[in-house]
Structure formats: structure tokens, C-alpha cells
Structure 1
Amino acid sequence: MMGAGARELIVAEYRITGLSPVVIAELISDIGPLWHERHQARLTARPRQRAVGAGAKHQFVFADRLLATLVSLRHGTTHDVLACWFGVDRSTITRSVGEVRPLLAQRGCAIAPDVRLRTLAEVIEHLGVDGRSGIIDGTEIRVRRPAAGRKDRDKFVSGKTKQNAVKSMVLTDAEGRMLFCSPVRPGSCADITHARELGLVKLLADGPFMEILADAGFQGMGAQTGGRVVTPPHRKFKKNAPVWYEERHEQQRRAHS
């Protein structure tokens, strides 16, 4: 197990988790009881051959599980590396991240002392109140190659990076403050497909008017959402384009960027 000094270093160094010690302490106090409650519920729900409280005790405490999850989310660190760092088996890290991530998503993103956004619908409603602009993009995280013989093994190969990856969709406000991060999908899933599966098209089409800036991976959503999703202009000439068109097209793309 990692020593207390190493744990204190992770908490104190902002670059490792991206969070201050105060925020990490709040996460432990808010999410810790929920994790322990779910852990005990799993133990009591399954058939037992020993009395409750008997058997081996887990030594990977919740604080370490939370830190491992935060490092994984911050840097995309593989579970093998985290297992060596924390002195546990890789399967323990995988199980811990799988348990803590839903609790972090359930807690949502705080944008004000009394306002916390937990779902994509709440984010769209928040942006539409004052007609604020948003920014949407997909981000990929490299993962281990799925085991041989797995049915959907090829779905994790990203067409962009040619690596095994998972993809999340992130929505921020105009200042870049994160408001929503979606569950992961296999790396082969297109950005626009991911957005449609999350119901973004329906939320925007039925909601108030706003502008969501996106890259070329979301082209086509503008017409489906009444112009609420703004993407770079389509390229009309694929070959032998005039010089004036190349210059104008590049200026439009730079202005959008």
C-alpha cells in the first residue's frame, strides 16, 4: 500500500488531480458515506457462508480509491500504472474506478454555491435561461486492448488515433468551465452519434434558443436543432478549388476556432 506521505503529496500537488485539498476533502465527506453504504449493501445482498463482518478486510480505503479515480480521469493513466503506484492489483483499480465514477457523476458540477448540474437536460436549461453560449467536443482516452475473443473488440479502435480508446462528450460554458461530461463510449463511436444517443438533438430542438459551438465532427446537427449548434462551414470544393475560395474557407474556419 502507498504510504501516508505519498497520499499527502497527491492531495497537496494540484497538477496531479487538478483539485485543491479543500475540494478533495469535500469529495471524501460527500461521496465516502455513499460508497460505504453501497459496499455494505452488496455484501448483505449476496449469499454468504460467513457471518456479516467476518472474512478479509479490504485495505484499499475509500480515500485511495477516490485519488486513483481522480488521477485516472485527469491524466488517462492506465490501470496497470495506478496499480503499481498504489500497491494493489490492476483489477482492484478497475473495480474502484468503476465504483467511484458513477458517484462523481451523481454529485454533478457545481457552478454556484446553490446550483449544481447533474444531467444534460439541466445543463441545457441552465444555458438557455439567459441565452448563454456553450462549447461541445469529444475527447478520447487510450485504454488497454480488449481481450482476444471479445465480441465488440474492434469497436474500441479509434478511427482518428488508430488506438484502442474510449470517448466522452464534454460540454462547457463560453469560459471553458465544465458543465457536463458524458459516460464513455467505444472509440469508434462518432461525436455526432454520441451526441444523438445522449438526446442532445431533442433537448436543443425543444428548448430555448442558444448557441453551442462545435467542431466539424458535429456537422449536420445545426439543421436538426434550428441553428443552435454552430459548426465550421462545409467545404464545397473537394478538388480544384479556386484560390479565393481556399482563402475565404480558411478565414471562416479560423474565425470559428
Structure 2
Amino acid sequence: MRRPAAHKAGRQRFISGKARANTVKALVITDAEGRLLFCGQTRPGSTHDLTQVCQAGLVELLALVPGVTLLADAGYQGLSTQTAGAVLTPRPARRRNQIPGFPAVAAAHEAERRAHASQRIHVEHGISHLKNWRALSRHLGRREHLDTILPAVAGLVSSQERAPRPESLHRSLKALPGGTAA
């Protein structure tokens, strides 16, 4: 993202607290296989993840639809209580300076965190498909245009995911009677 001019009004809103960089964030939801389901509006980088979810109306939506479970990263801790357990976040990591507990408890804690991460990696892969597009990975234009670019790229990624893959097409041609594929 291009850095705005120094001493420009409102510049601090886009400075991320984590990355300390000029950032913009978007709420992205994928299914368990990493296929894109929802892509929300962009927000300044200083916006907290929970604030973004509340502004998007996701908390109210999850209250209306029972039986839906979302896997979220650690930035969404606390959302589970607002949605009656519909959002699963990893348990906080043990601090290095924390008094060591029982080894079995520590091992179970790590196993739980690894299980959550192994399920969530598909979500991260789905998000990375968005970032593969140059229009999002190296956006040099105006920040105001991202709200129109992001849904366009999300639509292209979504249609690309639903299109048949060449190798599956190749296998289906071989399966036809008398069909040969070069």
C-alpha cells in the first residue's frame, strides 16, 4: 500500500498496531476447504478484529443461524461468548515465563492448539488465494478504490475455484468409453 504524505489528516488510522505499517484489513470467510464465502468491506489497519466483525453485523447473523461454527484466529478471542460458542478460537498460548504445570496438561494444551491450527490452515490457504492477485498484493493506487477491487478479485477467485481443474477434466475424458486424452 502506498504510504500517504506525512502530516496528512487521518493518516494514523491506517497504521496497524501489530505490523506498524500502513495497512488496510478486510473480513474474509471461507468454508472448511478454503473456498471463499464472504468478503467484507475494508477497514483501516488500526481497527480491531472484533470491532470489524461487529460493524459487519456478523454477531447478529450468527445468532439467527443456529448450528454454524466458525474457526477464527487468536484476534477474535472473546467472540465466542458473544455468539454462544459459534466461533472457535485457539486457547491462548502458554507464556515462556509461566510456572510450568503438569506435563500432561501442557501436552494436551499444545495438542488442542495444533488441532485448531491444522483445521484453520485451509482457511489461511483460501485467504492466500486472494493475496496472489497483484491488484491486492501490491496495491499502489488509492485506498478508496480497494472497496471495489476486493469484491471483484473475490468474485474471480470464487469462479476460479468452482471451475473444473484440468487434471480432473483429463481423468474424466479417460473414463469415457472409447475416450482418449492426449
| 1:178-218 deviation digits (Å, cap 9, x = unpaired) | 01111111111121211111011111012222110111111
Q: Which has the higher contact order (CA 8 A, sep 6+)?
A: 2
Which blocks of at least 5 consecutive residues in structure 2 are unaligned? Answer: 118-182
**1:255 and 2:115 correspond:** yes
Which blocks of at least 5 consecutive residues in structure 1 are unaligned? Answer: 1-142
TM (norm. structure 2) is 0.57
**1:240 and 2:99 correspond:** yes
Larger radius of gyration: 1
User: Any residues of structure 2 matched to 1:212-251 within 5 Å, and which?
Assistant: 212-234=70-92, 239-242=98-101, 244=103, 245-251=105-111
Find the residue that maps to 2:2 and give its secondary structure.
coil
Q: Distance in 2 between matches of 1:197 and 1:246?
A: 36
- Residue of structure 2 equivalent to 1:191: 49
**1:168 and 2:21 correspond:** no
Q: Distance in 2 between matches of 1:246 and 1:159?
A: 30
- Residue of structure 1 equivalent to 2:7: 149
Identity value in percent = 48
Q: Distance in 2 between matches of 1:200 and 1:243?
A: 38
Number of aligned positions between the proteins: 115
CA RMSD of aligned residues (A): 1.9
- 1:235 offset after TM fit, Å? 5.1
**1:182 and 2:40 correspond:** yes
User: Any residues of structure 2 matched to 1:46-65 within 5 Å, and which?
Assistant: none
